[in-house]
């Protein structure tokens, strides 16, 4: 009887997964149609106002189809060639509204929810760890004028981000690198580091002790730098997580945290302390 119940639960879980995958695929198609309509609407405006609108002023919208074609190509390559875990059913984990890029979590909304406009200045050098497409790095540079680097193990997502940075003409301020954070060699020290639920990864490619993750970050940061650190859902109310975090008091200072993502994650503002 127990085996039958367990089997039924597994079958139900698989059905739910298939349904969710189908719903996301439909959402992606609707999104693609929406981009088509946006571009078509802009072309119609351009047709009626040709005497005042030129190709340069229209580039941001009119050239979107080519950008999206490149993104779809990378997603197809990922589905055929990538032998590791792909987040959000193979689509970008983050969306980027300013370029109409489909994804799970809204970059612009996250930027505002984390108050990054108040925390990042134009003079900052930012690192986004486990950046997926690097949209938070791109958008931080877009909004604040900072320079930003991003590193992620998935080369297809990194190329998507590189296409977007190039489209926004921001390659002089945004650098996205494909590779493991364990192998990452920074070209400079960072004044702000973003580590959003990346101290271990679902794909199993990055599994280290929390203390090792934070010490590695500490070595990459400028004096008095700011680490904006988000926990995983499994860390909330986990005594082992809190004990490991407390061991980092000689290296970082922080005062509590606040709940994010409907109370499933915790956000910490951690100021670097010079190690003795």
Q: How many domains does the chain have?
A: 2
According to DSSP, residue 90 is labeled G
112 and 93 share one domain: no
Q: What is the Cα–Cα distance from 150 to 184, expressed in whole angstroms?
A: 10
Contact 78, 91 (CB under 8 A): no
- CA distance from start to end of the chain: 61
64 and 192 share one domain: no
Contact 164, 67 (CB under 8 A): yes
pLDDT confidence band for 16 (50 / 70 / 90): confident
120 and 219 share one domain: yes
Is pLDDT at 161 greater than 80 in this prediction? yes
Q: Which of 71, 97, 123 is the last residue of a domain?
A: 97
As a whole number, mean pLDDT of residues 75-82 equals 96
pLDDT confidence band for 123 (50 / 70 / 90): very high
Q: Do you know the residue count of the chain?
A: 276
pLDDT confidence band for 3 (50 / 70 / 90): low
120 and 67 share one domain: no
| Host domain of residue 160 | 106-272
207 and 80 share one domain: no
Is pLDDT at 263 greater than 60 in this prediction? yes
Selection from 127, 59, 130 nearest residue 99 by Cα:
59
Q: What is the Cα–Cα distance from 40 to 73, expressed in whole angstroms?
A: 22
Contact 210, 199 (CB under 8 A): yes
56 and 110 share one domain: no
Q: Which of 97, 122, 154 is the last residue of a domain?
A: 97
Is pLDDT at 10 greater than 90 in this prediction? no
How far from chain centre, in Å, is Cα 137?
8
According to DSSP, residue 156 is labeled H
154 and 229 share one domain: yes
Domain of 180, CATH number, reads: 3.40.50.150
Q: Which of 97, 119, 137 is the last residue of a domain?
A: 97
Model pLDDT, residue 267: 98
154 and 256 share one domain: yes
Collect all residues with Cβ–Cβ distance below 8 Å to 149 and sequence separation of at least 6. Answer: 125, 126, 127, 128, 137, 174, 175, 176, 177, 186, 187, 190
262 and 137 share one domain: yes
80 and 113 share one domain: no
CA torsion sign for 186, 258, 233, 87 is negative
Helix orientation angle between 64-81 and 155-167, rounded to the nearest 10 degrees: 170
Q: What is the pLDDT of residues 211-247, one digit of tens each?
A: 999 999 999 999 999 999 999 999 999 999 999 999 9
129 and 190 share one domain: yes
Model pLDDT, residue 14: 81
Give Cα separations from 255 to 50, 116, 133, 238, 246 (angstroms): 57, 18, 31, 18, 11
57 and 190 share one domain: no
Collect all residues with Cβ–Cβ distance below 8 Å to 264 and sequence separation of at least 6. Answer: 233, 236
pTM over 0.85: yes
């Amino acid at each position: 009887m127990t085996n039958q119940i367990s089997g039924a639960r597994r079958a139900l879980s698989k059905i739910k997964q298939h349904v969710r995958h189908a719903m996301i695929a439909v959402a992606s198609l609707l999104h693609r149609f929406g981009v088509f309509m946006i571009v078509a609407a802009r072309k119609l405006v351009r047709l009626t106002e040709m005497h005042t609108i030129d190709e340069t002023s229209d580039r941001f919208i009119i050239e979107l189809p080519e950008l999206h074609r490149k993104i779809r190509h990378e997603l197809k390559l990922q589905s055929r060639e990538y032998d590791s875990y792909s987040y959000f059913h193979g689509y970008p984990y983050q969306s980027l509204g300013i370029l109409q890029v489909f994804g799970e979590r809204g970059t612009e909304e996250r930027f505002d929810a984390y108050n990054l406009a108040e925390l990042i200045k134009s003079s900052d050098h930012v690192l986004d760890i486990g950046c997926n497409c690097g949209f938070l790095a791109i958008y931080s540079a877009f909004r604040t004028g900072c320079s930003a680097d991003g590193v992620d193990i998935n080369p297809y997502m990194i190329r998507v981000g590189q296409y977007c940075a190039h489209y926004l003409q921001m390659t002089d301020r945004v650098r996205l690198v494909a590779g493991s954070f364990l192998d990452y060699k920074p070209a400079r020290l960072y004044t702000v580091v973003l580590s959003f639920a990346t101290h271990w990864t679902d794909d199993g490619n990055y599994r280290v002790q929390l203390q090792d993750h934070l010490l590695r970050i500490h070595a990459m940061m400028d004096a008095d730098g700011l680490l904006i650190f988000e926990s995983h859902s499994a860390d909330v109310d986990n005594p082992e997580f809190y004990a490991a975090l407390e061991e980092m008091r000689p290296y970082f200072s922080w005062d509590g945290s606040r709940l994010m993502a409907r109370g499933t994650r915790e956000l910490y503002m951690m100021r670097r302390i010079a190690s003795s």
